Amino acid sequence: MRLTPPLTFIALSVTGVALYKAAPADTKTKAKATFNSLRSKLSDWIKPEEKEEEVIDEYDFDEDGEMEQEAKERQDKADLNPPPIH
């Protein structure tokens, strides 16, 4: 008898459910985590998500810019009020 992929998945699922039902309580949590991991990896393998490339805009440093001035003010405040040493 030749096992085809869908038949193999069904056989593994039935075997996994039988093992899960017969397992002690502490083993069930580990088995459930393993089954969920396998299921997610199989679904990613069967139908991978299409990933979009992130477009990162180039950043030009401007010393007088609003964001740079705000960062400078925060740094100056942090230098004047250092955190207490425990």
Structure confidence by residue, pLDDT tens digits, 60-75: 778 888 888 898 898 8
pLDDT, position 2:
61
Q: What's the whole-model pTM score?
A: 0.35
Domain ranges of the chain: 58-86
Q: Give CA–CA dist 68/75, Å, rounded.
A: 11
Amino acid at site 76: D
Q: Give CA–CA dist 5/9, Å, rounded.
A: 6
